[in-house]
Structure 1
Amino acid sequence: MNGDALLARIAQLQASAGASRSQGKPGNRRRQHPRRANVNTRVEPWLTLIEKRCGLLAEDRRFIRLRLATRQPGDAMQLAEGYSTAWEQAAMQEQRTHVKNNAGRQAANRWLKCQLKNNP
């Protein structure tokens, strides 16, 4: 294959690759907007209430969001209040200061699971 034939083949391959793209022109990609989860904005007030009273970790936020996302606003607020109360009571009962947050977290998560199991 000579140089002209090689260049023609490269041009042909580039043309066929460009035709298969959705926009047809290289570099002109459609701008994608990040999707927002509606659940986060719905749960956020209850999560904020809990965060004011308890030291949440990322996995705590995820745990709470998964459980409160399907609840009615009033029900979710009551669950958030109970979660915070369970956390605070368990943390106060723990004697060792370095274990207080973990004791509160475990008790509050158990309490929330129990509440959701009894009231699905």
Structure 2
Amino acid sequence: MGQVGQHDKQAEQREVGQEREIEMLLAALADAGRDLGPKLAHRLRETLVPLSQQVRAELLTVVDDAFEVALDVDDARRHAGHLLGDSAAVEAAKAVWPAYPAPPPIEALAAASSDVEPPWMTYVARHCELVPDDWCYLLHRLTGRPEVEADKLARQYVEAWAAAAYAEPQAHRRANAGRRAANAMLRGVTM
């Protein structure tokens, strides 16, 4: 193996170790009773990747504190999400942690709240960690159905996702387990 190949292999090993560390940190929050939910967990993963090990731990301590003082889980998730995306909160965090990353552009976050987006899609997006293919699949399967039926199927989709994700013991596999179960449930529904 040449020098370039060795360098690529080392970079890949660092990346795998980094992902494993992030999953362990998120699992520690879950073990402490912090129900992040799929959306916040996804945002945390994206935020934590470019950070140093120390800054990751400090940020997760702040998220843990948000859950400690919140009135309920939804309030804690909102507050933690605010810490990850609010420009004033980010600037305050950067004062303490210079390596703290800038929040993603507003356009990236706006996909979940469009005026033309059906209410059932907003509901699913709020409860599930959707990727672009999920959006397409859901639109294909539920658009054109009566609104009551689409709403009912969206709720069943979220329930199937949550049940499968909860049953998956490995944190890094939960979103995919939820996605597979929810999509299988929808496939079983006749068009």
What is aligned with 1:75? 149
Following TM superposition, the consecutive aligned residue runs of length 4 or more in structure 1 with deviations greater than 4 angstroms are: none
**2:93 maps to 1:93:** no
Report the TM-score, using the length of structure 2 for normalisation. 0.39
Q: Distance in 2 between matches of 1:71 and 1:46?
A: 11
Name stretches of at least 5 consecutive residues in structure 1 with no aligned partner: 1-39
User: What CA deviation, in whole Å up to 9, does each residue of 1:16-42 have, x standing for no partner?
Assistant: xxxxxxxxxxxxxxxxxxxxxxxx93x
Give, in whole Å, the separation in 2 of the partners of 1:63 and 1:97: 24
The residue matched to 2:188 in structure 1 has which SS? helix
Percentage identity across paired residues of the two chains:
35
Aligned partner of 2:150: which letter?
A
Q: Of 151, 158, 182, which residue of structure 2 is paired with 1:84?
A: 158
Structure with higher Rg: it is 1
| Secondary structure in structure 1 of the residue aligned to 2:169 | coil
Name the structure, 1 or 2, with higher relative contact order (CA <8 Å, separation 6+).
Answer: 1
Q: Report deviation, 1:103.
A: 0.3
Q: How does 1:8-87 map onto structure 2 within 5 Å?
A: 41=116, 44-87=118-161
Matches of 2:177 and 2:131 in 1, distance apart? Answer: 13
CA-based RMSD of the aligned residues comes to 1.3
Residue from 92, 105, 112 that aligns with 2:186: 112
- Distance in 2 between residues matched to 1:72 and 1:105, nearest whole Å: 23
Q: Distance in 1 between matches of 2:166 and 2:145?
A: 29
How many aligned residue pairs are there?
77
Q: Post-superposition shift, 1:44?
A: 2.1
What per-residue deviation string (whole Å, max 9, x for no partner) do you get for residues 84-118 of structure 1? 00000000000000000000000000001102x2x
Structure 2's unaligned 5+ residue stretches are: 1-114
